[in-house]
Amino acid sequence: MALTLFLVFLYAAGTAILPTPLEAVLGAVKVAPGWGVITLAVLGRFVGAYTIFYLAVRLKRLPRLQEWQGKNRYARWLMAFGKKWVDKYGAPALFFCLLIPGFPDTGAMCLLALAGGRPLAFALAAAGAAAVRLSLVYLGIWGATQALS
């Protein structure tokens, strides 16, 4: 069970950058309790999101990235769009966007990581959205199994 929960944590941390569904961790419910799986998945998502946002804050200060942004018109437009979006809506908007089923989490998190400057706020938003999504899916699965039995 401990290995399963550790793998749940690692997978959830990896979903912050990899385009894979976070809900796949609920397969571990057969081996571990649901509350444990959800808790460690949310902690993993927080750690993964915080790491991405923290690294992005450091990365955007690199001279090579600033130079590339200056030369590439598309990169300038994308960063300006991301910066405007972050300034206007902030972390709560990321929270609500990540609640949308099928929303491309990875793209939004990477763009906002480069455009934003508050790693803790955005990591909390990502973890909160993960908690809500996983809880709703778990309750749906539990309800379906109860109805069928």
User: For 62-77, how does the pLDDT look when each residue is reduced to its tens digit (9 = 90+)?
Assistant: 888 788 878 888 888 8
Does the pLDDT at position 124 exceed 90? yes
Interhelix angle 34-59/119-148, nearest 10 degrees: 150
Number of C-beta neighbours around residue 113 at 10 A: 26
Tokens of 77: 């437009």
The whole-angstrom separation of Cα 90 and Cα 43 is 21
Q: What is the pLDDT of residues 2-59, one digit of tens each?
A: 898 999 999 999 988 888 888 889 889 889 998 999 999 999 999 999 998 888 888 8
Does the pLDDT at position 125 exceed 80? yes
Sequence-ordered list of residues with C-beta below 8 angstroms from that of 125, at least 6 positions apart, any chain = 91, 92, 94, 95, 98
Please identify which residue in the block is written with the tokens 């018109």. Answer: 73
Global confidence as pTM: 0.84
pLDDT of residue 102: 65
